[in-house]
Amino acid sequence: MSFFDAADLPRVSIFRDSSRRYQGLSYNCDHNLQTPVSRALPPRRDSAIATSLHLATTTVTSPLSTRKPTPTMTFTLSPFVEADIPPAIAAHATATADESLQRTTSAHLSDSEKNDYRLQEWTLALQNPFARIVKATERGTLIGAAGFLTHKVCGLQWTAPSRKEETGSIEKEIDDRLAQSRDELLQGDYDIWHIYLVFLAPSHEHASVWRDMISWGLSQADEAGKRVYVQASSADKATYEELGFQVKKAVRLPVDTARRESAGECVRYLMLRPTKV
Protein backbone atom coordinates (compact mmCIF):
# COMPACT_ATOMS: atom_id res chain seq x y z
CA MET A 1 0.00 0.00 0.00
CA SER A 2 1.56 3.26 -1.12
CA PHE A 3 1.08 6.55 0.69
CA PHE A 4 0.23 8.01 -2.71
CA ASP A 5 -2.15 5.22 -3.66
CA ALA A 6 -5.81 5.61 -4.54
CA ALA A 7 -9.04 4.91 -2.70
CA ASP A 8 -7.78 2.44 -0.10
CA LEU A 9 -9.28 4.48 2.71
CA PRO A 10 -12.09 6.27 0.92
CA ARG A 11 -14.01 7.74 3.80
CA VAL A 12 -10.99 8.90 5.76
CA SER A 13 -8.17 8.29 3.40
CA ILE A 14 -4.49 8.85 3.92
CA PHE A 15 -4.18 8.42 0.19
CA ARG A 16 -6.13 10.20 -2.53
CA ASP A 17 -9.64 10.23 -1.23
CA SER A 18 -10.98 12.14 1.73
CA SER A 19 -14.50 11.15 2.57
CA ARG A 20 -16.31 10.81 5.88
CA ARG A 21 -19.86 10.35 6.99
CA TYR A 22 -20.91 13.91 7.74
CA GLN A 23 -24.37 13.97 9.24
CA GLY A 24 -26.09 16.48 11.48
CA LEU A 25 -23.26 19.00 11.59
CA SER A 26 -24.15 22.49 12.73
CA TYR A 27 -22.43 24.58 10.07
CA ASN A 28 -23.16 28.02 11.52
CA CYS A 29 -21.78 27.43 14.97
CA ASP A 30 -20.28 30.37 16.80
CA HIS A 31 -16.82 29.72 18.18
CA ASN A 32 -13.49 31.45 18.60
CA LEU A 33 -11.42 29.71 15.94
CA GLN A 34 -8.62 31.80 14.54
CA THR A 35 -7.36 29.80 11.57
CA PRO A 36 -3.56 29.57 11.62
CA VAL A 37 -1.74 31.31 8.79
CA SER A 38 1.40 29.78 7.34
CA ARG A 39 4.60 31.66 6.67
CA ALA A 40 7.11 31.06 3.88
CA LEU A 41 8.62 27.59 4.18
CA PRO A 42 12.35 27.25 4.68
CA PRO A 43 14.04 25.21 1.95
CA ARG A 44 14.84 21.48 2.26
CA ARG A 45 13.31 20.76 5.64
CA ASP A 46 13.53 17.17 6.76
CA SER A 47 9.95 16.45 7.72
CA ALA A 48 6.38 17.58 7.65
CA ILE A 49 6.68 18.05 11.39
CA ALA A 50 9.34 20.70 10.90
CA THR A 51 7.40 22.53 8.22
CA SER A 52 4.21 22.64 10.29
CA LEU A 53 5.49 23.45 13.76
CA HIS A 54 5.44 27.21 13.12
CA LEU A 55 1.65 27.01 12.78
CA ALA A 56 -0.11 28.07 15.95
CA THR A 57 -1.99 25.64 18.15
CA THR A 58 -5.64 26.68 18.30
CA THR A 59 -8.21 25.87 20.97
CA VAL A 60 -11.81 25.83 19.81
CA THR A 61 -15.12 25.69 21.64
CA SER A 62 -17.83 24.18 19.46
CA PRO A 63 -21.46 23.08 19.74
CA LEU A 64 -21.82 19.29 19.77
CA SER A 65 -25.20 19.30 18.04
CA THR A 66 -28.07 21.46 16.88
CA ARG A 67 -30.18 20.65 19.94
CA LYS A 68 -31.08 23.39 22.39
CA PRO A 69 -29.72 24.10 24.89
CA THR A 70 -26.55 23.40 22.91
CA PRO A 71 -23.82 21.48 24.74
CA THR A 72 -20.29 22.47 23.86
CA MET A 73 -16.89 20.84 23.66
CA THR A 74 -13.40 22.24 23.54
CA PHE A 75 -10.87 20.80 21.15
CA THR A 76 -7.39 21.79 20.04
CA LEU A 77 -5.89 21.96 16.55
CA SER A 78 -2.13 21.47 16.41
CA PRO A 79 0.55 19.95 14.13
CA PHE A 80 0.58 16.16 13.86
CA VAL A 81 3.77 14.55 15.25
CA GLU A 82 5.28 11.07 15.35
CA ALA A 83 3.83 10.25 18.76
CA ASP A 84 0.35 10.71 17.27
CA ILE A 85 0.71 7.80 14.84
CA PRO A 86 -0.52 4.95 17.13
CA PRO A 87 -3.67 6.76 18.32
CA ALA A 88 -4.31 7.96 14.76
CA ILE A 89 -4.21 4.39 13.45
CA ALA A 90 -6.70 3.31 16.10
CA ALA A 91 -9.01 6.30 15.58
CA HIS A 92 -8.87 5.87 11.83
CA ALA A 93 -9.84 2.19 12.08
CA THR A 94 -12.88 3.10 14.17
CA ALA A 95 -13.95 5.85 11.78
CA THR A 96 -13.75 3.59 8.71
CA ALA A 97 -15.30 0.47 10.24
CA ASP A 98 -18.64 0.82 8.42
CA GLU A 99 -17.41 2.20 5.10
CA SER A 100 -18.25 -0.13 2.20
CA LEU A 101 -15.57 1.18 -0.17
CA GLN A 102 -12.98 0.86 2.58
CA ARG A 103 -13.95 -2.78 3.08
CA THR A 104 -13.81 -3.38 -0.65
CA THR A 105 -10.26 -2.12 -1.10
CA SER A 106 -8.79 -3.72 2.03
CA ALA A 107 -10.68 -7.01 2.18
CA HIS A 108 -7.59 -8.98 1.18
CA LEU A 109 -5.56 -7.59 4.12
CA SER A 110 -5.41 -9.02 7.64
CA ASP A 111 -5.77 -6.68 10.60
CA SER A 112 -2.03 -6.96 11.22
CA GLU A 113 -1.26 -6.08 7.61
CA LYS A 114 -3.59 -3.09 7.73
CA ASN A 115 -1.87 -1.84 10.87
CA ASP A 116 1.59 -2.31 9.34
CA TYR A 117 0.61 -0.44 6.19
CA ARG A 118 -0.87 2.46 8.11
CA LEU A 119 2.21 2.71 10.31
CA GLN A 120 4.38 2.85 7.20
CA GLU A 121 2.24 5.44 5.47
CA TRP A 122 1.94 7.76 8.47
CA THR A 123 5.71 7.56 8.90
CA LEU A 124 6.24 8.44 5.24
CA ALA A 125 3.79 11.31 5.56
CA LEU A 126 5.80 12.88 8.36
CA GLN A 127 8.95 12.61 6.24
CA ASN A 128 7.38 14.61 3.42
CA PRO A 129 8.46 18.26 3.79
CA PHE A 130 5.60 19.42 1.59
CA ALA A 131 2.77 17.74 3.50
CA ARG A 132 0.69 19.58 6.07
CA ILE A 133 -1.02 17.47 8.74
CA VAL A 134 -3.17 18.87 11.52
CA LYS A 135 -4.62 16.88 14.41
CA ALA A 136 -7.63 17.58 16.58
CA THR A 137 -7.50 16.60 20.23
CA GLU A 138 -9.98 16.78 23.09
CA ARG A 139 -8.50 16.73 26.57
CA GLY A 140 -5.31 15.28 25.12
CA THR A 141 -7.03 12.51 23.13
CA LEU A 142 -6.67 12.48 19.36
CA ILE A 143 -10.12 12.60 17.73
CA GLY A 144 -9.24 13.40 14.12
CA ALA A 145 -6.70 14.61 11.58
CA ALA A 146 -6.53 16.24 8.15
CA GLY A 147 -3.69 16.17 5.66
CA PHE A 148 -2.81 18.32 2.67
CA LEU A 149 -0.23 17.95 -0.09
CA THR A 150 1.07 21.27 -1.38
CA HIS A 151 1.68 22.23 -4.98
CA LYS A 152 5.37 21.42 -4.49
CA VAL A 153 4.67 17.68 -4.71
CA CYS A 154 1.07 17.37 -5.88
CA GLY A 155 0.84 14.97 -8.82
CA LEU A 156 3.56 12.64 -7.59
CA GLN A 157 0.99 10.70 -5.58
CA TRP A 158 -0.76 9.85 -8.83
CA THR A 159 2.33 8.75 -10.76
CA ALA A 160 3.89 6.54 -8.06
CA PRO A 161 3.76 2.75 -8.62
CA SER A 162 0.42 1.29 -7.61
CA ARG A 163 -0.27 -1.98 -5.85
CA LYS A 164 -3.57 -2.31 -7.67
CA GLU A 165 -2.10 -4.49 -10.42
CA GLU A 166 -1.31 -7.15 -7.82
CA THR A 167 -4.61 -7.30 -5.96
CA GLY A 168 -8.23 -7.75 -6.97
CA SER A 169 -9.74 -6.59 -10.22
CA ILE A 170 -12.31 -4.51 -8.37
CA GLU A 171 -9.50 -2.51 -6.76
CA LYS A 172 -7.92 -1.84 -10.14
CA GLU A 173 -11.30 -0.80 -11.52
CA ILE A 174 -11.69 1.72 -8.68
CA ASP A 175 -8.20 3.05 -9.27
CA ASP A 176 -8.66 3.30 -13.04
CA ARG A 177 -12.02 5.08 -12.84
CA LEU A 178 -10.64 7.70 -10.45
CA ALA A 179 -7.45 8.15 -12.44
CA GLN A 180 -9.24 8.62 -15.76
CA SER A 181 -11.71 11.15 -14.38
CA ARG A 182 -9.02 13.04 -12.46
CA ASP A 183 -6.76 13.23 -15.50
CA GLU A 184 -9.63 14.52 -17.62
CA LEU A 185 -10.30 17.20 -15.03
CA LEU A 186 -6.80 18.36 -14.17
CA GLN A 187 -5.21 17.91 -17.61
CA GLY A 188 -1.78 17.56 -16.01
CA ASP A 189 -2.06 20.85 -14.12
CA TYR A 190 -0.92 19.85 -10.62
CA ASP A 191 -0.23 23.37 -9.40
CA ILE A 192 -2.79 22.74 -6.67
CA TRP A 193 -3.15 21.60 -3.09
CA HIS A 194 -4.75 18.22 -2.43
CA ILE A 195 -6.75 17.20 0.65
CA TYR A 196 -5.63 13.59 0.85
CA LEU A 197 -6.61 12.81 4.44
CA VAL A 198 -9.54 13.60 6.68
CA PHE A 199 -10.91 11.53 9.52
CA LEU A 200 -12.89 12.22 12.66
CA ALA A 201 -14.12 9.97 15.46
CA PRO A 202 -17.82 9.16 14.96
CA SER A 203 -18.53 10.37 18.50
CA HIS A 204 -17.59 13.91 17.43
CA GLU A 205 -19.32 14.16 14.07
CA HIS A 206 -21.82 16.74 15.33
CA ALA A 207 -19.10 19.22 16.25
CA SER A 208 -17.32 21.63 13.90
CA VAL A 209 -14.01 19.75 14.17
CA TRP A 210 -14.14 18.39 10.61
CA ARG A 211 -14.80 21.78 9.09
CA ASP A 212 -12.16 23.52 11.20
CA MET A 213 -9.44 21.00 10.35
CA ILE A 214 -10.08 21.57 6.65
CA SER A 215 -10.17 25.34 7.10
CA TRP A 216 -6.76 25.08 8.79
CA GLY A 217 -5.26 23.92 5.50
CA LEU A 218 -7.40 26.05 3.22
CA SER A 219 -6.05 29.22 4.84
CA GLN A 220 -2.53 28.13 3.90
CA ALA A 221 -3.52 27.28 0.34
CA ASP A 222 -5.16 30.69 0.08
CA GLU A 223 -1.99 32.37 1.24
CA ALA A 224 -0.05 30.43 -1.40
CA GLY A 225 -2.62 31.44 -4.04
CA LYS A 226 -3.41 27.85 -5.03
CA ARG A 227 -6.54 25.93 -5.90
CA VAL A 228 -7.48 22.96 -3.69
CA TYR A 229 -8.61 19.53 -4.91
CA VAL A 230 -10.57 16.86 -3.05
CA GLN A 231 -12.44 13.64 -3.79
CA ALA A 232 -15.55 13.75 -1.62
CA SER A 233 -18.31 11.34 -0.74
CA SER A 234 -21.98 12.10 -1.25
CA ALA A 235 -22.28 12.82 2.48
CA ASP A 236 -19.45 15.37 2.39
CA LYS A 237 -20.35 17.14 -0.84
CA ALA A 238 -22.52 19.87 0.70
CA THR A 239 -19.93 20.69 3.35
CA TYR A 240 -17.17 21.14 0.80
CA GLU A 241 -19.49 23.31 -1.29
CA GLU A 242 -20.02 25.55 1.73
CA LEU A 243 -16.24 25.85 1.98
CA GLY A 244 -16.05 27.07 -1.61
CA PHE A 245 -15.50 23.83 -3.55
CA GLN A 246 -17.22 23.18 -6.86
CA VAL A 247 -18.17 19.76 -8.22
CA LYS A 248 -16.37 19.09 -11.48
CA LYS A 249 -17.03 15.38 -11.97
CA ALA A 250 -19.04 12.61 -10.33
CA VAL A 251 -17.39 9.18 -10.48
CA ARG A 252 -19.30 5.98 -9.77
CA LEU A 253 -17.15 3.37 -8.07
CA PRO A 254 -17.86 -0.33 -7.46
CA VAL A 255 -18.13 -1.62 -3.91
CA ASP A 256 -18.10 -5.25 -2.88
CA THR A 257 -18.88 -6.29 0.67
CA ALA A 258 -18.93 -10.01 -0.02
CA ARG A 259 -18.31 -11.29 -3.55
CA ARG A 260 -17.32 -9.52 -6.76
CA GLU A 261 -20.54 -10.50 -8.52
CA SER A 262 -22.60 -8.80 -5.82
CA ALA A 263 -20.83 -5.46 -6.15
CA GLY A 264 -22.82 -2.24 -5.94
CA GLU A 265 -21.72 1.35 -6.53
CA CYS A 266 -20.89 4.49 -4.61
CA VAL A 267 -20.11 7.99 -5.86
CA ARG A 268 -17.04 10.16 -5.39
CA TYR A 269 -17.19 13.82 -6.37
CA LEU A 270 -14.06 15.39 -7.82
CA MET A 271 -14.12 18.96 -6.51
CA LEU A 272 -11.97 22.04 -6.90
CA ARG A 273 -11.84 25.17 -4.79
CA PRO A 274 -10.79 28.25 -6.81
CA THR A 275 -7.85 30.37 -5.81
CA LYS A 276 -8.74 32.86 -3.08
CA VAL A 277 -7.05 36.26 -3.28
Rounded CA-CA distance 203/100 in Å is 19
CB of 19 within 8 A of CB of 13? yes
For residue 169, what pLDDT is reported? 64
- Average pLDDT estimate for 245-265: 73
154-163 per-position pLDDT tens digit: 777 766 555 5
Percent of the chain topping pLDDT 90? 34
195-229 per-position pLDDT tens digit: 988 999 888 877 789 999 999 999 999 999 999 99
The band of 2, judged by pLDDT with boundaries at 50, 70 and 90, is very low
Residue 205 falls in which region: left (phi positive, over 0), alpha (psi -120 to 50) or beta: alpha
Rounded CA-CA distance 85/93 in Å is 12
- E-strand ranges in 49-182 read 58-63, 72-79, 131-138, 141-149
- Average pLDDT estimate for 54-64: 50
The band of 235, judged by pLDDT with boundaries at 50, 70 and 90, is confident
For residue 10, what pLDDT is reported? 31
Least confident of 12-26, 128-142, 190-204, 261-275: 12-26
Q: What DSSP designation does 227 have?
A: E
Q: Which numeric CATH code is attached to 48-273?
A: 3.40.630.30
For residue 229, what pLDDT is reported? 97
| pTM, rounded to two decimals | 0.71
For residue 161, what pLDDT is reported? 55
Residue 144 half-sphere exposure toward CB, CA atoms < 13 A: 28
Exposure b/e, 149-165, CB count within 10 A at least 16 = b: bbbbebbebbeeebebe
Going by their DSSP bridges, the two strands 227-233 and 192-200 should be labelled as parallel
Sheet holding 58-63, edge to edge: 58-63, 72-79, 131-138, 141-149, 192-200, 227-233, 264-273, 246-255
| Boundaries of every domain in the chain | 48-273
For residue 46, what pLDDT is reported? 33
State whether the Cα torsion 230-233-236-238 is positive or negative.
positive
**Rounded to whole angstroms, what are the CA distances from 110 to 61, 103, 116, 164, 199?**
39, 12, 10, 17, 21
**Rounded to whole angstroms, what are the CA distances from 202 to 26, 64, 138, 210?**
15, 12, 14, 11
For residue 124, what pLDDT is reported? 86
> Cis omega before residue 69 (within 30°)?
yes
Name the average pLDDT for the chain. Answer: 71
CB of 217 within 8 A of CB of 167? no
For residue 121, what pLDDT is reported? 84
- Average pLDDT estimate for 250-265: 65
